[in-house]
Amino acid sequence: MCLRCPNCYLKIHARAEACPYCDFSVQKLSQVYEHEEVSTDRLSDAVGVLDHQQLRVLTAKIQEFDWLFPQFFLVIHVLDCADEKELTRYGMWLLNRGVFTPNEDDTKSRDGMVLLLLAPRTQLAVILAGALVEPNLSDRLLFDVLCQAHSLWQEELYLEGLIEVINRLSLELKRRANLVSFLHPLFS
Amino acid sequence: MKPCCMIDLWAILCLVLGVATASPVSIASRVEDPESLIATAQREQIEQQLLTMERLQHTESSDITPLQSIDVRLWVGRTMDLSDLPAAPDPTGTWLQVCLAWGNPHLLELRWSTNLRQVVSERYRKVCRDHAQQDAIMAKDELSQVLAALRSLQPRLFWMQTLLKNGDIIVEVPPEKMSPLALMARQFFAGTTSVVIVHRQASLIYVAVLLLLCLLMRWLILQRRYWFSAPAAESRLAAEHGAALGPVLHFGASRHSLQRQREKLE
């Protein structure tokens, strides 16, 4: 099984500790960002494209997502980045080194994180899934989830786009859970 | 829930509880002549007319079942006073009695069963009576008066049957025609409320119960939480919590079409 290196985009073995081509690993990222751990909010808007009311609406959506899927939790960051590579590298680092507040439910493992990063200036968005979420959602499916917001984000309707993404993500996860609960008795 | 499903459910409940949406099987039409005013030959003609009316009820509309047929009766007396008339033997049936004073058609009256009263408005009942009365008055002899009154009612029966067919009336089935299960249900409910068995308000109760059930189901669905049993993915690139690249969406530049971006994921 292969995966693409977030740094050089070349295909590498899934069990590789570091990229054999560029020597990329999460430890290297910590050196890049000069932090072993970062404490941040579950929802943050460093760019300022969302007003106070919109942040409240998004917070409610995040709480709803958390309630529906007790093993997972959603993190949304609106930020600025130079390019795609920086966005994905920052995402991976945040996924592994981030400590998020408020985290009311300490029982949730960070493996269950779904990280959504949106960069309005460079017009990029990415979804990164933790180790617990990843087996349930393929990259293709996550891309389709992001596509829901494509036209909305083009029109700079960032809140609406984010809500569309959350709704579609919830729907796909529900479908997956229903399918598993339906098939499980057949194969057990 | 779709309305048709609710109607089906209502029909099933009606069957279980031993109520029907129309009258029981029609009783043969009959002529009451306590003072023997009608001659045998005349009686035959009148009964023939009543028979024709009953037969037409089934032929004019093929979807009219015997449960919805209306039993037409005739009472003939020398003088007519409604208070002197004998009580109707079958108050729960679906019948219409033409009461006529022999030779005095202006005294014609119509007696309606309780079930028919529920579907036929008072205004229409009056119209039926007036028209039958006028037709009878126009006839020259006593027999013609009776026949004219009956013929005047004939086309109106079809409309009344349609009302019955549409289930605008809930009629109790006589105990002798009930199944043992229906009889048990009837006895059980009779002690608590008569509404459940006979009255059309029963449908409101069932609709309310169904609505409550639907709301409960909706609430249960909304309360559902989703759990996943898949094991966590293996550690990659020395990452503790996840190291998938994640799909990136370019939503601005036209050179990045969605299709091309999707292909890039492969």
Question: What backbone torsions phi and psi does residue B180 show, to the nearest 5 degrees?
Answer: -55, -35
pLDDT of residue B18 exceeding 60, the answer is no
B245 in contact with chain A, both atoms CB, cutoff 8 A: yes
pLDDT of residue B127 exceeding 60, the answer is yes
What mean pLDDT is predicted for residues B114-138? 86
Measured distance CA(B50)–CA(B151) in Å, rounded: 9
Q: Do A95 and B239 touch (CB under 8 A)?
A: yes
Measured distance CA(A60)–CA(A66) in Å, rounded: 10
Q: Do B240 and A184 touch (CB under 8 A)?
A: no
Q: What is the pLDDT of residue B72?
A: 85
End-to-end CA distance of chain B, in Å? 43
**For residues A64 and A97, is the Cβ–Cβ distance under 8 A?**
no
pLDDT-based confidence at residue B102 (cuts at 50, 70, 90): confident
pLDDT-based confidence at residue A149 (cuts at 50, 70, 90): very high
**For residues A58 and A162, is the Cβ–Cβ distance under 8 A?**
yes
- Cα Rg of chain A (Å, integer): 17
Q: What is the pLDDT of residue B11?
A: 46
**For residues A117 and A125, is the Cβ–Cβ distance under 8 A?**
yes
Pairing outcome for strands A113-119 and A73-78: parallel
Distance of CA A85 to the CA centre of its chain: 15
Q: What is the pLDDT of residue A127?
A: 93
Question: What backbone torsions phi and psi does residue B249 show, to the nearest 5 degrees?
Answer: -110, 125
Q: What is the pLDDT of residue A1?
A: 65
Task: Name the helix (H) or strand (E) containing B125.
Answer: helix B122-138
Residue for token pair 């919805």? B68
What mean pLDDT is predicted for residues B111-131? 84
The C-alpha of A145 sits at a distance from chain B's nearest C-alpha, in angstroms, of 10
- Range with the poorest average pLDDT among A16-25, B20-29, B61-70: B20-29
Q: Can the peptide bond before residue A102 be classed as cis, meaning omega within 30 degrees of 0? A: yes
What mean pLDDT is predicted for residues A28-48? 79
The C-alpha of B225 sits at a distance from chain A's nearest C-alpha, in angstroms, of 5
Compare all CA atoms of chain A with the CA of B261 and give the residue at the minimum distance.
A143
pLDDT-based confidence at residue B44 (cuts at 50, 70, 90): confident
Decide: helix, strand or coil at residue A101.
Answer: strand
Residues of B in contact with A172 (CB under 8 A): none
Residues of A in contact with B264 (CB under 8 A): none
Residues of B in contact with A136 (CB under 8 A): 228, 230
CA distances from B165 to B6, B7, B54, B62, B207 (A): 17, 14, 16, 12, 20
pLDDT digits (tens, 9 = 90+) for B214-264: 999 988 888 888 888 767 667 777 777 776 778 889 888 666 788 888 887
pLDDT-based confidence at residue B179 (cuts at 50, 70, 90): low
Q: What is the pLDDT of residue B58?
A: 63
Residue for token pair 């005294």? B107
pLDDT-based confidence at residue A40 (cuts at 50, 70, 90): confident
Phi-psi region of B80 (alpha: psi -120 to 50; beta: other; left: phi over 0): beta
- Residue A119 token pair: 């960069």
pLDDT digits (tens, 9 = 90+) for B68-94: 678 888 888 887 666 667 666 666 678
CA distances from B237 to A75, A138, B121, B125, B133 (A): 22, 19, 84, 90, 101
| H helical segments located in A73-149 | 84-97, 139-147
- Residue B119 token pair: 């579907």
pLDDT of residue A187 exceeding 70, the answer is no
Residues of B in contact with A153 (CB under 8 A): 251
ipTM: 0.86
Amino acid at B112: W
- Residue B116 token pair: 């028919």
Cβ–Cβ contacts within 10 Å for residue B140, how many? 8
∠ CA A18-A21-A26, rounded to 5° = 30
Measured distance CA(A148)–CA(B4) in Å, rounded: 36
What mean pLDDT is predicted for residues B29-51? 83
Q: What is the pLDDT of residue B229?
A: 77
B221 in contact with chain A, both atoms CB, cutoff 8 A: no
B261 in contact with chain A, both atoms CB, cutoff 8 A: yes
Q: Do B246 and A84 touch (CB under 8 A)?
A: no
- Range with the poorest average pLDDT among A49-58, A73-82, B25-34: B25-34
Residues 6+ apart with CB under 8 A from B216: none
What mean pLDDT is predicted for residues A41-64? 92
Q: Do B262 and A140 touch (CB under 8 A)?
A: yes
Q: What is the pLDDT of residue A65?
A: 92
pLDDT-based confidence at residue B175 (cuts at 50, 70, 90): low
pLDDT-based confidence at residue B19 (cuts at 50, 70, 90): very low
- Range with the poorest average pLDDT among A69-78, B125-134, B175-184: B175-184
Phi-psi region of B253 (alpha: psi -120 to 50; beta: other; left: phi over 0): beta
Q: Do A125 and B251 touch (CB under 8 A)?
A: yes
Measured distance CA(B122)–CA(B43) in Å, rounded: 31
